[in-house]
Amino acid sequence: MATIISRSRWDTIKNFRQQNALEVHNTGGGEDKISNLPDSILLHILSYLPTRDVVGTCILSTRWKTLWICVDSINFDDSYLYSSAVFGYPMKVTCFMDFVHRVLQLREESNLKKFRLSCRVCFSALHVSSWLSAVIRHNIQDLDLCLFVEEPFMLPQCVFSSKTLTSLKLEMNCVLELPTSTFFPFLKILHLCLVTFRDDSSTQRLFSSCPMLSELAILDCEWMNLKQVAISISSLKSLIIDDLPFFGSTDDLNGCEIEIDASNLSFLKYSGYLSNEICLYNLSPSVNASIHIPILYEKRNQIAFRAVKLFRGLHKISAAKISSRAIESLFIADIEKDRLPIFCNLTHLELSMELEKHTIGPLKELLQCLPKLQSLHFSEGLDPCMHLCEDDWNLRFVPPCFLSSLKTLKYSNFHGNVSEISFLRNLLEIAKVLEKLNIVCSKRPFGDPKKQKEVKDQLQGRNGGSASCAIKFM
């Protein structure tokens, strides 16, 4: 643990915060209503403030002098060191380290609920390790770390064996070094960002050490050292894997095989180039999936095979949000023999990107696989540069859902151009049981009832379709 700071330096830190603290104390010159609040409410308010501001309240009055010590949430962020004009850089760093040490020392006898630390580890890895060890001794429940690392750094072993942690969020731009023994008996939330997984065995040990985990997010992490890993967690409810952005060679798509077995999963989000192969098992119909797969044209066949494999694991889901690029990747010409399954449970589909001309064909194919679809949402509309003719949406075979189940269409980002009106007219003509078409306008002129009526007349002047469909502008 760092040396205790001198009284003069502690006074310097307090004076550094005094001006901001005084601004919130009795600013109107009248009754001090804030100080009249019960301690429980004041502590709740203080828990949302950066710790440097919380500590600054100790100068307000005798009552406030020690109140901050009872706040069960601590947030240290060294970013102000690099934006503030106060002091020189070396003194800023020293003050920050002394401040963190002093705050933790004064709280030695009280438990912590939440601890967040964002700092550059380079100035003192030993200090950071000692702070984290102290925090674990305070029976921390929610630990949020954002550490900027310039050389190898290993978190204290006690972090990976905490019996009180329920949430661990770790952003660290280095290899994630794990002890031989890892166990989080009560961890429910695990977020990993920017870390590089060392090897199969340590990574598998981490994912297998969280028997109560309900939320897992793996964001922009490096899997390049792995060949195969399984995420088999029966308690898991939410899983987010974000492999974007991609800066490497297309040869790096060899990746690793990630097996996901989560029978109680309710939300799945994947964004990436499928540089890793995702295999899904035992997903329930209640899963809501969000999938975005950009296309690297040099590896489009490999990505397409992996995309089809991913979607096969989603064949039971009931709702999906899919980008137009992901849909396109499913229907590369070279994989005609490797077809999609029928999604018998999928009732809601949202398209999360602008629909482009070359994506219309794949979308037609996908709709043939959705016999029970009830709701279809074009959340970004059509590409405004696209010139769509009526023949572009002609269907050799009308998707079964348009004849029997599709009740709601929603079209967002509506500009009112000829292509959009032609597109919606085609949809209305083949949607035999449609009840609602909701149009969300992107421009102010379409808030004009006269303009809306003109468009509505054009849409309603069609042949066929549902006679009872209500068109509504939103």
Average pLDDT over residues 110-135: 86
Res. 21: pLDDT tops 50:
no
Res. 3: pLDDT tops 60:
no
> With bands split at pLDDT 50, 70 and 90, how would you rate the model's confidence at 364?
confident
pLDDT in tens, 159-212: 999 999 999 999 999 999 999 999 999 999 999 999 999 999 999 999 999 999
| Intra-chain end-to-end CA distance of the chain, in Å | 60
pLDDT in tens, 268-300: 999 998 989 999 999 999 999 999 998 777 778
The whole-number pLDDT of residue 392 equals 61
pLDDT in tens, 48-68: 777 777 777 766 766 676 666
- Spatial contact of 131 and 100, defined as CB atoms under 8 Å apart: yes
> 272 in the Ramachandran plot: left (φ > 0), alpha (ψ -120 to 50) or beta?
left
The whole-number pLDDT of residue 388 equals 66
pLDDT in tens, 295-353: 777 778 888 889 999 999 999 999 999 998 899 888 875 555 457 889 999 999 999 98
> With bands split at pLDDT 50, 70 and 90, how would you rate the model's confidence at 89?
low
d(CA 386, CA 15): 61
> With bands split at pLDDT 50, 70 and 90, how would you rate the model's confidence at 41?
confident
The whole-number pLDDT of residue 411 equals 94
The whole-number pLDDT of residue 105 equals 80
Which pair of structure tokens corresponds to residue 276? 């890793």
- Spatial contact of 238 and 264, defined as CB atoms under 8 Å apart: no
Instruction: Please report the beta strands in 121-200, taking only residues with DSSP state E, as ranges in sequence order.
Output: 142-148, 167-172, 175-176, 189-193, 196-197
The whole-number pLDDT of residue 19 equals 40
pLDDT in tens, 203-262: 999 999 999 999 999 999 999 899 999 999 999 999 999 986 655 555 556 689 999 999
- Single pTM value for the model: 0.83
d(CA 469, CA 46): 53
d(CA 164, CA 153): 23
Q: Which of 30-39, 101-110, 377-386 has the lowest mean pLDDT?
A: 30-39
Res. 15: pLDDT tops 50:
no
The listed range with the strongest mean pLDDT (5-14, 33-42, 148-157, 432-441) is 432-441
The whole-number pLDDT of residue 247 equals 55
> With bands split at pLDDT 50, 70 and 90, how would you rate the model's confidence at 422?
confident
pLDDT in tens, 366-419: 999 999 999 999 999 888 777 766 566 666 678 999 999 999 999 999 888 888
The whole-number pLDDT of residue 27 equals 47
d(CA 382, CA 360): 10
The whole-number pLDDT of residue 108 equals 65
Res. 20: pLDDT tops 60:
no
- Spatial contact of 311 and 347, defined as CB atoms under 8 Å apart: no
Q: How large is the greatest C-alpha to C-alpha distance in the chain, in angstroms?
A: 85
d(CA 286, CA 350): 16
